[in-house]
Structure 1
Amino acid sequence: MSDNLVFSHDVLSSADLVIDARYAGSRNGNASDEPLTHLLKLSNQGGFRIRGKREDPLLITIFSSLEDQDWPDDVDLSTGVLTYYGDNKKPGRKLDETKRYGNNLLELIFENLHLGKREQIPPFMNLP
């Protein structure tokens, strides 16, 4: 059991992903503090964080603090359904006009799905 297993920040780049383990961040006061960037080799900003290139992602995580009262992201633990609003929260903007291109990423995934290119769809993880 990994109830007490903690990986320090300095070993994250070589640490295994273990259920219920804890992964320590650093204390620099910026985005480099996040352990996910180092553990999973992900981009470190935005709701959609990827490993690889945006045009050819290898892993996609959806990150939410679940704290925005006006746009209440939610995870239904009984069904596994994630309701995610993303960052396009300004009226009048097109669906794909976002700073981090999350909706463009979803468009790529849906296009690959409908073209029968399932092997080009990376795994998704939800990380609160």
Structure 2
Amino acid sequence: MVDEPLSTLLSTCNSDGFRIRRDVNKRPAFFVSCSSGEEINCPDIVDKYNGTVKYYGDNRTSGSRLTNTKKNGNKILEKVWNSNESSHFHKLPIFFF
């Protein structure tokens, strides 16, 4: 992934899964992820018509908890989705390429 431009453009780490950009207070500012489209068993699906993404996550191991990942990207997504409207997490943008 050395040639992967997202990390340079958005000032995030260059790794698999969700990349988190933090603000000056070390809180998440936004999330970035991408899909190669090469996963056969659990393909991520981008529905441009409806503006939705079906993302199977960083952990595609059968029988393993979905939030059990090395960088905790899925745990953070779970926190965003479960947050209320007044929460900092509720307002975070998620970029998916």
Matched, 1:91 2:68: no
Matched, 1:48 2:38: no
TM-score by length of 2: 0.81
Letter in 1 for 2:46: V
Q: Displacement, 1:120?
A: 5.9
Please tell me whether Structure 1 or Structure 2 has the larger radius of gyration of its CA atoms: 1
Change (3 A) 1:89 1:48: same
Q: How many residues align?
A: 95
Matched, 1:114 2:84: yes
Among all aligned residue pairs of Structure 1 and Structure 2, give the percentage whose two residues are the same amino acid.
37
Letter in 1 for 2:8: H
Instruction: Give me the whole-angstrom Cα distance separating, in 2, the residues matched to 1:119 and 1:37.
Output: 21
Q: Displacement, 1:74?
A: 0.8
Q: Displacement, 1:43?
A: 1.6
**Structure 1 spans left out of the alignment, 5+ residues:** 1-30
**Structure 2 spans left out of the alignment, 5+ residues:** none
The alignment partner of 1:33 has SS state of coil
Q: Which residue of 1 aligns with 2:50?
A: 79
Matched, 1:100 2:71: yes
Change (3 A) 1:120 1:70: closer
Instruction: Give me the whole-angstrom Cα distance separating, in 2, the residues matched to 1:65 and 1:59.
Output: 20
The alignment partner of 1:95 has SS state of coil
TM-score by length of 1: 0.64
Write 1 or 2 for the structure with the bigger share of helix: 1
Letter in 1 for 2:50: T
Are 1:95 and 1:103, in contact at CA under 8 Å, matched by a contact in 2? Answer: yes
Q: Displacement, 1:67?
A: 1.2
Alignment of 1:24-63 (within 5 A): 31-52=1-22, 56-63=27-34
Q: Displacement, 1:52?
A: 1.3
Which structure would you say has the larger RCO, counting Cα contacts within 8 Å and 6 or more residues apart?
2
Q: Which residue of 2 aligns with 1:3?
A: none
Query: Once the two structures are superposed, what CA deviation does each residue of 1:14-41 show, in whole Å capped at 9, x if it has no partner?
Result: xxxxxxxxxxxxxxxxx34221111110
